[in-house]
Chain A
Amino acid sequence: MSFKTRHARSNQLLDLKLAPWRMATVGGLLIGGLVLVAGRAFYLQGLNTDYLQGKGDAISNRNLTLPTHRGQVSDRYGQLLAISTPVESLWARPSELKLTAGQQAHLAKVLDMPEAELGKKLKRKGRGEFGVRRPVTPEQALDIAAMGVPGLYLRREFRRYYPAGEVAAHVVGFTNVDDVGQEGVERAYQTWLVGREGERQIVRDRRGNIIRDLAPIKTAQMGGNLALSLDLKIQYLAHRELAAAIKLNKAKGGSVVVLDAKTGEILALANQPNFNPNNRRNYKPEPMRNRAVIDTFEPGSTVKPFVAAAVLERGLFHPDSVLDTPQTWRVGTKLVRDEHPHPRMSVSEIIQKSSNVGAVKMAMSLTPQQFWEVLHRSGFGEKPGSGFPGESSGRLRDPATWRPVEHATMAYGYGLSVSLLQLTRAYMAFANDGEVMPLSFLKREPQEVVGERVFSPSVAREVRAMMETVTQEGGTGTRTRVPGYRVAGKTGTAHKLVNGRYAADRYLASFIGMAPASNPRLIIGVVIDEPSGGAYYGGSVAGPVFAQVMAASLRQLALPPDAPETATQMTHNTPPLPMAAGKGV
């Protein structure tokens, strides 16, 4: 019985009768679930992988811009003229901006601007973001960061500084707030200086450390540095002396150009009036113009050495040939006149005393074509090729259209125009034994340059010897002498054209000279616009500027004096310096 019952019980268990549909339902649910999970997994892993991978990468991968900054500009000895350094600037995002009245008042105080103006600035609607103040000082940056206003933030930007300030302002130029060169070298070499931002893709970990480089998208290119041909010390001297002369002579403006006669490098170039490139707020175009390169003027008597060279070259005259030079001489309807007449002068004396009649007589012995050819060869009417933006070419008309009067007036520098840089460059032919080197604002090695022959060496030397008499007793440029050195040069005093007529009382005084005359190393051109302090002759207004800059520059370059012993003899008889006398060594 017991067995039976036991048996029956087990049998009951075994024979548990389940309805088949129940089995199917459970099995189906289990398999269905499995398929669902597998399907989802397949969907995520297989089909939708890009999206998810992208999401994942977005958390860890970043594109990083590699900042670059604008290259430096320095003088020939590495003294800085322009440099970019990072500064903080204040930006606002109007959509997020929440500023209480108190905070606004505080911000206005920190930024040192009227509260109403700040309020107006911040209320500007529109999307995106805008600069509130670019740049802010480091102290202001700390203050603003401490306020922690949402929607106001500091951004690191590079700002351009010009340590030499106004001294080299016209050559270096300046950039705008977006770091784009606006004037001068900054503009001419914009693409070289600016560099290129790079981009790279990186992986960051949880703490924000960069742990892996994925790919450089763009390699960064740092802005290139530039070494200019300027010599900051000479540049400063030129700037200082010019500014002093402008003040002394109550002139409207003026320029100085200093060239290296051997290499054609521009060692200094200063203009008045000028500006401070560090201060962008007073933006006035007038003082920013580089007059020495952009403005042209009628050269006046400074053109006479070219007339002399032209006639010497053709063998029409010799330096000692004597001409009759009456006080007035008629060409067509024009009466040419000399201020300080001498009845008879040699070619050399015509240059020394700057005789208009003599120069006209010499020029008239040439055909217009011959005269034009010499001026053209010397660079008149052509851009001087310094690469400076906005360089002017001056004016030299086609000789076929010259009337005899114009031919005559051109001999003493009217009817054609040049820039100071162009004229000073042309004088390089006399300084460098007939060869003109290409101009350059960039430093270069002397062996790199190939000159252009304008005059034969003998003609260039003869004219240089004539120009040396200008600075000697009886010449027009006695105030251009430099103690210890021989100086050659030519004065120029030209009436200014005002509304198409020559003004009787407005002048342009100029002097172009070179030293040491035995083997010139420096050429300096000076022009003073409308001196109104009494003196107006080139020799007495521009001459002293030349002498000061030349003396200091020659000393700066440690060039040995070349004046004959007699001129420097007196130095031996002077009492010894007090310091040296005190010491009994």
Chain B
Amino acid sequence: MSRLNIVLALVLIVCALAVIQAQHRSRTYFVGLERLKKEARLLDEQWGQLQLEQSTWANPARVDTLARSRIGLVPPPQERIHVETVPAEIRGVTP
């Protein structure tokens, strides 16, 4: 009888320690999760800023001015556009 009690007491102590351990682990993970969430939010904000930067660089007005002034592009005049018409026999094959 008393031996059983001792065994149960030991089991109880082990369980209690396991609970403490589990609790500690859960908190550690939780802290990690929170840290990652915060990081995700910061990355999200950074992504927004990069998108903003991208769209500022790719602004049509800017591209237009640069294309004309820096590399001297012009829209092709009509005489220089040649429209290829696909012959009927090929048209049948290509989708």
Contacts and interface: CB of A to CB of B under 8 A. Distances in A.
Interface of A: 72, 79-80, 83-86, 161, 163-165, 167, 205, 209-213, 232-233, 235-236, 240, 483-484, 552, 555, 560-561, 568, 570-572, 574, 577
A572 B79 CA distance: 9
12 contacts: A79-B55, A163-B56, A209-B31, A211-B30, A212-B27, A212-B30, A236-B64, A555-B75, A560-B83, A561-B83, A571-B78, A572-B82
Given A210-B30, A233-B60, A164 B55 contact: yes
Q: Which 5 A-B pairs have the closest CB atoms?
A: A236-B60, A163-B55, A483-B78, A80-B55, A210-B34
B7 interface: no
Contacts of A211: 27, 30-31
Interface residues of B, number: 24
B49 interface: yes
Contacts of B51: 72, 80, 83
Contacts of A163: 52, 55-56, 59
Dominant secondary structure of chain B at its interface with chain A: helix
Contacts of B52: 80, 83, 85, 161, 163
Interface in B24-77: 27, 30-31, 34, 45, 48-49, 51-52, 54-56, 58-61, 64, 75
Nearest to B57: A163
B3 interface: no
B90 interface: no
Nearest to B49: A85
Interface of B: 27, 30-31, 34, 45, 48-49, 51-52, 54-56, 58-61, 64, 75, 78-83
A165 B61 contact: yes
A165 B27 CA distance: 48
Contacts of B61: 165, 167, 236, 240
A572 B83 CA distance: 9
Scoring B34, B51, B56, B64 by chain A CB atoms within 10 A of each residue's CB, the highest score goes to: B51
B83 A577 contact: no
A568 B78 CA distance: 9
A209 B82 contact: no
Contacts of A205: 27
Scoring B60, B61, B75 by chain A CB atoms within 10 A of each residue's CB, the highest score goes to: B60
B48 A83 contact: yes
Contact of A484 (B55, B56, B81): B81
A233 B59 CA distance: 9
Given A83-B48, A83-B52, 19 more contacts: A79-B58, A85-B48, A86-B45, A161-B52, A163-B55, A163-B59, A164-B55, A209-B34, A211-B31, A233-B60, A236-B61, A236-B64, A555-B75, A570-B79, A571-B78, A571-B79, A571-B81, A574-B79, A577-B80
Contacts of B60: 164, 167, 232-233, 235-236
B30 A571 contact: no
Contact of B83 (A86, A161, A484, A574): A484
Nearest to A571: B82
A165 B48 contact: no
A85 B45 contact: yes
Nearest to B41: A67
B40 to A, nearest CB: 13
A552 B75 contact: yes
Nearest to B78: A483
Scoring A79, A84, A163 by chain B CB atoms within 10 A of each residue's CB, the highest score goes to: A163
A59 B49 CA distance: 36
Contacts of B34: 209-210
A246 B49 CA distance: 35
A198 to B, nearest CB: 13
B30 A568 contact: no
Contacts of B48: 72, 83-85
Nearest to A555: B75
Contacts of B79: 570-571, 574
A257 B48 CA distance: 30
Nearest to B75: A552
Given A83-B48, A161-B52, A165-B59, A240 B80 contact: no
Contacts of B83: 484, 560-561, 568, 571
A561 B56 CA distance: 33
A80 B47 CA distance: 13
A240 B63 CA distance: 13
Contacts of A165: 59, 61
A167 B64 CA distance: 13
Contacts of B54: 80
Contact of B78 (A164, A240, A484, A577): A484
B86 to A, nearest CB: 10
